[in-house]
């Protein structure tokens, strides 16, 4: 008897806020796979319900990734297709899943992208800062190594893109005032959602305005390159 052909793993980008920002292909893939791997069934359930998609869900997150991978790989090797999604945006971009994909590649399982929304590229596209070359550092270390990383980034001559949470956005702006006081900073809050906001200015200016801002939600912080000046760029 011939060995059953292995299934595929689709890495599917989902909306970062507005549920309409999903691609036709992403919906098609989610409807046709055998099961979906997600971070949180409650979050993904909202999207799947909106598009009338009923599939078996497997949870894969930072806490259970190492012990869940074997089960997923075995199912796919038995011929079942699965879709990997995150709570929002493109999976693996500061989200769990890299171990699963690395294992799939090692096992010669086909991994196919279904590209779409990403907070990283969405924020960069509206920042007004150079985007032909940039460095993405995701979430900075919360404690150990944070200051060292900020020192390294203060010497970076490319646009810097970071993610930050509600709880540390004020702390980050204070640190940028110390390490990169003259840089132009663009803070994007709740992109594509109802209360989307974009703030621009020097770190100290943003700190002064912070008390009047709503600092709830998810943030993308974009920092201008070391030698970049707004007036020079606008004249080029």
Mean pLDDT of the 77-83 span: 97
Alpha carbon 50 to its chain centroid, in Å, reads 22
Inter-CA distances, 209 with 167, 173, 186, 195, 213, Å: 17, 11, 13, 17, 7
Q: From CA 177, how far away is CA 204, in angstroms rounded?
A: 6
pLDDT of 190 above 50: yes
pLDDT tens for each residue of 125-150: 999 999 999 999 999 999 899 999 99
Query: Average pLDDT in the 179-205 region?
Result: 96
Confidence of residue 64 (pLDDT cuts 50, 70, 90): confident
Look at the chain and count its residues: 236
pLDDT of 67 higher than 90: no
Segment 228-236 shows an average pLDDT of 64
User: According to the model, what pLDDT value does residue 32 have?
Assistant: 98
What is the average per-residue pLDDT within 212-217?
Answer: 86
pLDDT digits (tens, 9 = 90+) for 36-52: 999 999 999 999 999 99
**pLDDT computed for residue 225 by the predictor:** 96
Classify burial at 195, counting beta carbons within 10 Å of its beta carbon; exposed 0-12, middle 13-18, buried 19 or more: exposed
Evaluate if residue 162 carries a pLDDT over 90.
yes
82's tokens: 């699965």
> pLDDT band at 2, cuts 50/70/90?
very low
Cβ–Cβ contacts within 10 Å for residue 150, how many?
18
Tell me how far apart the alpha carbons of residues 170 and 106 are, in angstroms, rounded to a whole number.
Answer: 42
Q: Give the C-alpha separation, 108 to 102, whole Å.
A: 10
- Widest Cα–Cα separation across the chain: 71
Whether 30 and 53 have beta carbons less than 8 Å apart is answered as yes
């Amino acid at each position: 008897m011939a060995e059953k052909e292995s299934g595929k793993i689709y890495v599917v980008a989902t909306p970062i806020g507005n549920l309409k920002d999903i691609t036709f292909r992403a919906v098609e893939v989610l409807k046709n796979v055998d099961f979906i791997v997600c971070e949180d069934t409650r979050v993904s359930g909202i999207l799947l319900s909106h598009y009338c998609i009923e599939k078996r869900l497997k949870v894969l997150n930072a806490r259970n990734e190492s012990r869940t991978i074997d089960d997923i790989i075995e199912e796919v090797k038995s011929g079942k297709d699965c879709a990997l999604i995150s709570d929002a945006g493109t999976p693996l971009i500061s989200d769990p899943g890299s171990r699963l994909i690395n294992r799939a590649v090692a096992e010669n399982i086909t991994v196919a992208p279904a590209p779409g929304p990403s907070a990283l590229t969405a924020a960069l596209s509206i920042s007004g800062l150079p985007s032909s070359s940039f460095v993405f550092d995701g979430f900075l270390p919360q404690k150990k190594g944070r200051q060292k990383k900020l020192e390294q980034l203060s010497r970076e001559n490319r646009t810097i893109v970071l993610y930050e949470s509600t709880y540390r956005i004020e702390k980050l702006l204070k640190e940028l005032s110390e390490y990169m006081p003259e840089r132009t900073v663009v803070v994007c809050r709740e992109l594509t959602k109802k209360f989307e906001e974009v703030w621009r200015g020097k770190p100290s200016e943003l700190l002064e305005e912070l008390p009047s801002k709503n600092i709830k939600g998810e943030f993308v912080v974009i920092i201008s390159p070391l030698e970049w000046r707004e007036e020079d760029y606008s004249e080029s």
